[in-house]
Chains A and B, each alone.
Chain A
Amino acid sequence: MGRLDGKAAIITGAASGIGRATAVRFAGEGAAIVIADLNAEGGEASVRDCKENGGRAVFQKTNVALEEEIKAMVARAVKEFGRLDIIYNNAGIGGAVGPLEQITVEDWDRSQAVLLRGVFLGIKHSVPEMRKAGGGSIISTASIAGIRGFNGLHAYCAAKAGVVNLTRSASLEFAKDRIRVNCICPGGINTPILHRNMPGVKEAMEQWMAHGQPIQRAGHPEDIANMALFLASDDSEWVTGQAMVVDGGLTVGSQFLDQTAGGERPQTGIVPQGFMGPSFEK
Chain B
Amino acid sequence: MGKLDGKVAVITGAASGIGRASAIRFAGEGAAVVIADLNSEGGEAAVRDCKEHGGRAVFQKTDVASEPEVKGLVDRAVKEFGRLDVIFNNAGLGGAVGTIEEITGDNWDRTLAILLKSVFLGMKYSVPEMRKLGGGSIISTASVAGLAGGRGPHAYSAAKAAVVNLTRSVALEVGKDRIRVNCICPGGINTPLIYNRLPGGRQVGEQFLAQLQAIPRAGHAEDIAAMALFLASDDSEWVTGQAMVVDGGLTAGGRLFGQDQQQRPTIPGGFAGPSFEKN
A interface vs B, CB < 8 Å? 167-169, 171-172, 175-176, 178, 180, 187, 213-217, 219-220, 223, 226-227, 229-230, 235-242, 244-249, 251-255, 259, 261-264
Contacts and interface: CB of A to CB of B under 8 A. Distances in A.
Contact of B238 (A169, A176, A219): A219
Contacts of B246: 236, 238-239
B180 interface: yes
Contacts of B169: 253
A241 B248 CA distance: 8
A249 B240 contact: yes
Contact of B249 (A213, A226, A240): A240
A3 to B, nearest CB: 10
Nearest to B168: A252
Interface residues on B, range: 35 or more
Contacts of A215: 175, 178, 180, 237-238, 240
A248 B253 contact: no
Contacts of A237: 223, 226
Contacts of A236: 226-227, 246
A226 B176 CA distance: 22
B172 A214 contact: yes
Contacts of B239: 223, 227, 245-246, 248
Interface of B: 168-169, 171-173, 175-176, 178, 180, 187, 213-217, 219-220, 223, 226-227, 229-230, 235-242, 244-249, 251-254
A128 B176 CA distance: 46
Contacts of B171: 214, 249, 252
Nearest to B239: A246
A215 B238 CA distance: 7
Of A168, A171, A230, most B-chain CB atoms within 10 Å: A230
A85 to B, nearest CB: 17
Given A175-B249, A239-B223, 7 more contacts: A219-B238, A220-B238, A229-B235, A236-B227, A239-B246, A246-B239, A253-B169
